[in-house]
Structure 1
Amino acid sequence: MLIECDECTARGPACGDCVVSFLTITRRPQTIEVDEDQAAAITAMSQGGLLPPLRLVRDERAS
């Protein structure tokens, strides 16, 4: 999974409660890549209340 913050239509208001901001707290997030196992772990921890969820919203018209 490639997460590109510059392409996220929810950036701004949703960034503060996004797992990307949580995981990259020491630097400005732009693009991160996670494999299937990492994505599953992030989802499980988010559903368990340990991490904020991924708030990425892609503009489907741009694809």
Structure 2
Amino acid sequence: MTFPHDAHGVTHIDCDTCVVRGLACHDCVVTVLLGPPPELTIDDEERAALDALAAGGLVPPLRLVTPCDTPVQEPPAATG
């Protein structure tokens, strides 16, 4: 699973911008480990560790969903 990160490989987790906040908080690794923080920053090694724990069923996976800058629209279906 990949998540957006900066040029240094750091993922910034801000629950305030998570699209599924409230819907998935109960099953998110951030909530399980720390409760709902305003923002959490993890690096690639920490993210890999969380992924390994989630893959082993020890914690739920990260459920971070970030909003898109612009909505993606499907082209209209061809009729005819």
Range class of TM-score, shorter chain: 0.7 to 0.9
Tell me the residue number matched to 1:29: 37
Structure 2 gap segments, 5+ residues each: 1-10, 71-80
Tell me the residue number matched to 1:55: 63
Structure 2 letter corresponding to 1:61? D
Q: Is 1:18–2:28 an aligned residue pair?
A: yes
1:36-59 per-residue CA deviation (whole Å, 9 max, x = no partner) reads 110000001001100111011111
Corresponding residue pairs, total:
60
Larger Rg: 2
RMSD: 1.2
> SS in structure 1 opposite 2:69?
helix
Structure 2 letter corresponding to 1:3? I
Q: Which runs of 4+ in 1 moved over 4 A?
A: none
Structure 1 gap segments, 5+ residues each: none
Considering Cα pairs closer than 8 Å and 6+ residues apart, tell me whether 1 or 2 has the greater RCO: 1
